[in-house]
Amino acid sequence: MPSTPVDQLRSALAADSARPFTTFYDDATGERVELSVATFDNWVAKTANLLRDDLAVEPGARVSLLLPAHWQTQVWLLAAWSLGLVVTFDGDPADADVVVSGPDTLDRAANCPGERVALALRPMGGRFPEPPAGFLDYAAEVAGHGDRFVPDGSARADAPALIEAGREYTAGDLAASGEAAAREWNLGPGDRLLTSSSFARTGGLRAGLLAPLAACVPVVVCRHLDESLLDRRIEAERVTRAVTRSAD
């Protein structure tokens, strides 16, 4: 049967839940965070439970992600797809059922007529010092949710999962795109991918999430990449493939 990104995460858990899944750097702040497959899956489960239990989001709902390349963006993508939601990065929040915003896009996110969630994007998923008015502070709410998610039904491979530049992709399309990228970049056991590309285009999403999921390899995500640190980081993180420009 066609797989989905959620299926691929399940496979990664079964293969080696303790291995690193994602390592995040922000060269503007000096932040470094590393999450194992198991820890990443716990964040995904908590977020999916928040969406279903607190926000009552139904399959097929549209989620506008106003977020940069970040480990929490990876979490939100898998949580949304676990529930059968449709993600958009470049759509109008006014057309979305849920908007998820970083601290720099709150004004735009306020146009969403539905649920609004704000991420402070602080180290280790920290909360806002003062929650923004009209928004749910993700970090303050998500911790209380269970780290296991039991879906009401399986997310179908033929269900819409992403809209990018007006084109609709199913969950199966996304899994297949990740598999194609993994083959193109010759990713296999022992590899580690590094990217600084935005997730807001399918090429950047392939590098930052879909190909690592398909190949079951760790990924290093760099925000505000300092090019002068790149060679040293590649060596320190044992990176075998770097995608630091548009992956399209």
Domain residues of the chain, as ranges?
5-243
Q: What is the CATH number of domain 5-243?
A: 3.40.50.12780
pLDDT tens-place string over residues 51-103: 999 999 999 999 999 999 999 999 999 999 999 999 999 889 999 999 999 99
| Number of alpha carbons in the 13 Å side-chain half-sphere of residue 243 | 27
Residue 154's pLDDT is 64
Q: Which of 100, 31, 87 is nearest to 59 (CA)?
A: 87
> Rounded to two decimals, what is the model's pTM?
0.95
> Does residue 1 surpass a pLDDT of 60?
no
Q: Which residues of 42-81 are buried (b: 16+ CB within 10 A; e: fewer)?
A: bbbbbbbbbbbeebebebebbbbbbbbbbbbbbbbbbbbb
Q: Give tens-digit pLDDT for 199-228.
A: 988 889 999 999 999 999 999 999 999 999
Buried b vs exposed e over 94-131: b needs ≥16 C-beta within 10 Å?
Answer: eebbbbbbbeebbeebbebebbbbbbbbeeebebbeeb
